[in-house]
Amino acid sequence: MSLFESGTVYRAAEELADEHHALGILITGDVFAAKALVGAVLDTLRVDWQVEAAQWSYLHPGRNAAVVAGGERLGWVGEVHPLVARAWEIERTLAAFAIDLGKVAAAAPEVTTYSDLTSFPALRQDLAVVVAAGVPAAGVLETVRRAGGDLLAQTGVFDVYTGEQVGEGRVSLALHLEFRAPDRTLTDEDVAPVRDRIVAALQEELGGELRG
pLDDT given for residue 116 in this prediction: 63
Per-residue model confidence (pLDDT) at position 59: 92
Q: Quick one: pLDDT at residue 16? A: 66
**Domains of the chain: residue spans and CATH:** 2-107 (3.30.930.10), 123-210 (3.30.70.380)
Return the closest-CA partner of residue 194 out of 135, 156, 146.
146
- Which pLDDT value is given to residue 142? 87
Q: How many CB atoms lie within 10 A of CB 80?
A: 23
pLDDT for the residue numbered 131:
92
pLDDT tens sequence for the chain (212 residues): 788 898 988 876 666 667 889 999 999 888 888 888 888 898 888 888 888 888 889 999 888 899 999 889 999 999 999 999 989 898 889 999 999 999 999 998 876 666 666 678 999 999 999 999 888 777 888 899 999 999 999 888 888 888 888 888 888 989 999 999 988 999 999 999 999 999 999 999 999 999 86
C-alpha 55: how far from its chain's center? 14
Return the pLDDT at 32: 84
- 51-60 long-range contacts (CB < 8 A, ≥24 apart) are 51/77, 51/138, 51/141, 51/142, 52/138, 52/142, 53/136, 53/138, 53/139, 57/81, 58/84, 60/31
Q: The pTM is what?
A: 0.57
